[in-house]
Amino acid sequence: MKEITNSEFENEVIQGGNVALDFYSTECPPCDALAPKFEGLSNLYGEEIKFLKIFRQGNRELADLLQIKSSPTIVFFNDGKEIGERLSGGIKRSEIIENLDLMISSEKRDSIKSQIKPSVTEFDVAILGGGPGGLTAGLYLCQAKVNTVLIDIALPGGQVSTTHEVSNYPGFIDPQPGYLLSHNMSEQTKLCGTIYKVAVDVTNVDLEKREIVIDEFETLKAKKIIIATGTSPNLTGAKGERELKGKGISYCATCDAKYFVDKEVVVIGGGNSAVEEAEFITRFASKITMIHQFDKLTANKQAQEKLLANPKVSVIYDTEPRAFTKVGDKMITEIENVKTQEMSKIESDGVFIFIGMMPNTSLFKEELTTDQWGYIKTDEDMRSNIKDVYAVGDVVSKKYRQITTAVADGTIAAISIAKELD
């Protein structure tokens, strides 16, 4: 693997055959997470594909020419022409392999795969999930000198990292950007000594054996496991929703509201998250139409009053979405009045859906004891019904789900585990 500069691009890339080029930055957690994967794959594919790195900030002219907007970004070239899909952010090993395999024959792919040797690493504790609960558990455990690994299919931070502002986290007088709060939590836990395995594919989890397989060939064994997998947005179930996810339908205002400056959007939902996110979207969009299944919003009164006082916002009550389609650049939302069964359509530039969350427990084949909604039941020490398996954060059955309650869960589980291991 070699690092290049602007001046070497023509010779090394354009005339360089098969090339994987990583634009990286310093003080960049996603870049740090990518580095060992990129280096490991260079050892496997290095005879067939050239692996290069380039410092984005130090080579801005080239980055601007190629329209590289973020770090890390991997670009793949074959005989000077870009091929495959550009990868950026929390890049998984499997995503890189998909692009590398486009450059070589099936025989060479099979030969490379045959060289991969499964590995096994043992830890005291494995944490599945890098939200506030998992990060706090990792922090307490590493401070207790407990050998801990934190695993996440994305980058650490959880849903906090996509939250616009957090105004009720103790210790901060001014509201904190969600991404910054989660970044600081993550860096604190990482610097303490917790091993990170992030932006990985979780191939298999065996809670009984306490074994986690990531990226197909790497097995992580632990004496204790903490489940901190959090929740994911609920879907409406309306026709076209899955197909248009990310192509007109969004579940994250912080991520996507900025793309709707002076445009019209539909927001589906009427609870706290829907009202709070809609209020954020008003900073960008010219018009917001909320669709709510009940005859009044269910968010807290103060948030409702603030939103409804905004002239950009209107609400259609007693209504649910039935189908989403896209015509050109416009989204068409087909809705039904649940009382009259009258059907109608709304044209907009985009749709945001905020109708609650569901627990991320599909990884686990064992019989975890859950409540009626699928959230994991625990005792006061955050133990699940399976021996040496704990659960913390939003995936746990409890009345309130906040950053502070997740942090508390992580603290309790870590202290309980540290005492048991002693």
Catalytic position from the list 64, 201, 255, 371: 255
Residue 222 has, within 13 A of its CA and on its CB side, a CA count of: 29
Which residues lie across from 22 on neighbouring strands? 53, 74
Of residues 283, 237, 287, 229, the one with CA closest to residue 256: 283
The β-bridge relationship of strands 343-348 and 330-337 is antiparallel
Of residues 196, 224, 205, 247, the one with CA closest to residue 35: 196
Q: How far is CA 167 from CA 158, 170, 171, in A?
A: 17, 9, 10
Instruction: Decide if 255 is catalytic.
Output: yes
DSSP assignments along 54-72, one per residue = EETGGGHHHHHHTT--SSS
Q: Give the Cα separation of 160 and 134 in Å (integer).
A: 13
Catalytic position from the list 152, 256, 349, 394: 256
Catalytic position from the list 192, 206, 252, 318: 252
Instruction: Decide if 31 is catalytic.
Output: no
Instruction: Decide if 142 is catalytic.
Output: no
Q: How far is CA 260 from CA 178, 347, 389, in A?
A: 20, 14, 44
382: left (phi over 0), alpha (psi -120 to 50) or beta: left
DSSP assignments along 349-402, one per residue = SEEEE---EEE--TT--S---B-TTSPBP--TT-B-SSTTEEE-GGGB--S---
Alpha-helical (H) ranges within 46-123 are 60-65, 93-100, 106-115
CB-CB contact of 133 with 156 (8 Å):
no
CB-CB contact of 90 with 33 (8 Å):
yes
Q: What angle do CA 38, 128, 115 make, to 5 degrees?
A: 35
DSSP assignments along 129-186, one per residue = --SHHHHHHHHHHHHTT--EEEEESS-TTGGGGG-SEE--STT-SS-EEHHHHHHHHH
The torsion angles phi and psi of 41, rounded to 5 degrees, stand at -70, -30
Q: Give the Cα separation of 244 and 238 in Å (integer).
A: 11
DSSP state letter for 245: B
Residues acting as catalytic residues: 252, 255-256
